[in-house]
Amino acid sequence: MTYYINSSRPTRRQALKGIGAAAGGAALAIGAPGILRAQESTLVVVSGGGSYEESIRKAIIDPFQQETGIKVTYVSPEDDAKLKVQVDSNNVQWDVVEVSSYGHRPDASKYLEEIDYGAFDKETLDNLVPEAKTKYGVGSLVYSTVMGFSTAEYPADKPRPRSWAEFWDASKFPGPRSLRAAVAGGGDPSTIEFALLAAGVPMDKLYPIDFDKAFASLDRIKPHITKFWTVGAEPGQLLSDRQVAMSSAFNGRMVSLKAQGAAVDYQWNEGELTPSYWVVPKGTKNRAAAMRFVAYQASAQAQARLNNLIFYGPMNRAAFKYIEPRIAAQLPTAPENIDKQFFVDLAYWQVESPSGKTNTEVLVDRWTKWIAS
């Protein structure tokens, strides 16, 4: 059985330049509560490289080492297949791994340790959003797939689409569009969910997915789609070049482009929130230290330091006490933004359908046939 969903995160959630660079000076020096220093040991932490690695080292890894005395070896990139091989071979080399949906797989108990929430202080537990606290993973951050549009096509004095129903309304809002493809290896469901929203399904009633209704809705928008994008940079390029008037897009990409002066904007209404999680591989030799790390990164101060540097949302609501207001307004989980959106149901996309395939595989199969029709 194949398990995957949202495996191509937005350029490893790259730390944005422009506004993000200006915010770097605001990184907090506050430590996480309840963390005691430990005997010298080594913890192998695995996540993305590039500018994301730079941000997480500055915001979380370095302070964690200083405050706990636990040495961290950082490895990138994360690889689900390698995690599986390490556990299957009883040769676990990683202690903590940041993933998108591994902890929601039906076989998660075979490959991951249960999270020890006893290692968390009460303030952190009370302030984590419910979606952050799962049996086999702790939320790290959230990115959003939002509706972006060209301000050249839709200037401030002109009505702009504010819902996916309006995105689908080509007579009221003319112009070519773009949406994300649901391709093998990624199987991102956002376009299917947006199609259901356009068809009148409420955000809290999206699951279980009505595939027939979703694809009937896609039939209506298909003639107006210039391109189904697969790479996170594509929507911004299409919008900037005025090849499309509107497109689904990653929020971080839109923030970056706006900071650079591109003629683009976006809105949060009916956006898809996609969380990432820290998980602990089954059989780690450093379980206690690993649990201390996942608890540390979940604290309000640690998440605030990270999200002052990158434009994705913290999963600890109290983090916003420490994030600059002008930055907070641009984050998916800010109080004024989160309630306008919905969380993708990662567990739903991992489970088997009556056909014996995962719901993700059902999606990809139907998409492949539909796109060729």
pLDDT band, very low/low/confident/very high, at 189 (cuts 50, 70, 90): very high
One domain for residues 38 and 113: yes
Residues 102 and 247 reside in one and the same domain: no
Q: Which of 206, 235, 270 is the last residue of a domain?
A: 270
Q: Which of 252, 270, 288 represents a domain boundary (last residue)?
A: 270
Instruction: Specify the pLDDT at position 1.
Output: 53
Q: Is the same domain home to 293 and 321?
A: yes
Output 61 or 353, whichever has higher pLDDT.
Answer: 61
Residue percentage of the chain with pLDDT more than 90: 83
**Are 112 and 156 in a shared domain?**
no
- pLDDT value, residue 353: 87
Q: Would 4 be classed as within a structural domain?
A: no
Q: Are residues 169 and 255 in the same domain?
A: yes
Same domain, 152 and 225: yes
* 168/114 same-domain check: no
In the chain, the number of structural domains is 2
67 assigned to some structural domain: yes
Indicate if 135 and 284 belong to the same structural domain: yes
Distance CA 153, CA 149 (A): 8
pLDDT tens-digit readout, 249-271: 999 999 999 999 999 999 999 99
How sure is the predictor about 183, in pLDDT bands with cuts at 50, 70 and 90?
Answer: confident
In this prediction, residue 16 carries a pLDDT of 39
**Residues in Cβ contact with 363 at an 8 Å cutoff, skipping those fewer than 6 apart:** 182, 187, 189, 192, 209, 211, 349
Are 250 and 167 part of one and the same domain?
yes
Poorest-pLDDT segment among 30-39, 44-53, 64-73, 342-351: 30-39
Helix axes 359-372, 211-221, angle to 10 degrees: 30
pLDDT tens track for 296-313: 999 999 999 999 998 889
Q: What is the DSSP letter of 221?
A: H
Both 17 and 128 in a single domain?
Answer: yes
Same domain, 165 and 266: yes
For residue 199, the enclosing domain spans 143-270
357 within a domain of the structure (yes/no): no
Assess whether 135 and 282 both reside in one domain: yes
- pLDDT at position 37: 43
Which CA distances in Å does 23 have to 20, 312, 321, 326? 5, 14, 15, 10
Grade residue 188 by pLDDT with cuts at 50, 70 and 90: confident
Q: Is the dihedral of CA 238, 244, 249, 251 positive or negative?
A: positive
* Residue type present at position 221: I
**What's the average model confidence in pLDDT over 282-293?**
97
Q: Among 34-48, 166-180, 223-237, 348-362, where is mean pLDDT lowest?
A: 34-48
65 in a domain, yes or no?
Answer: yes
Q: Any idea what the CATH number is for the domain that residue 263 is in?
A: 3.40.190.10
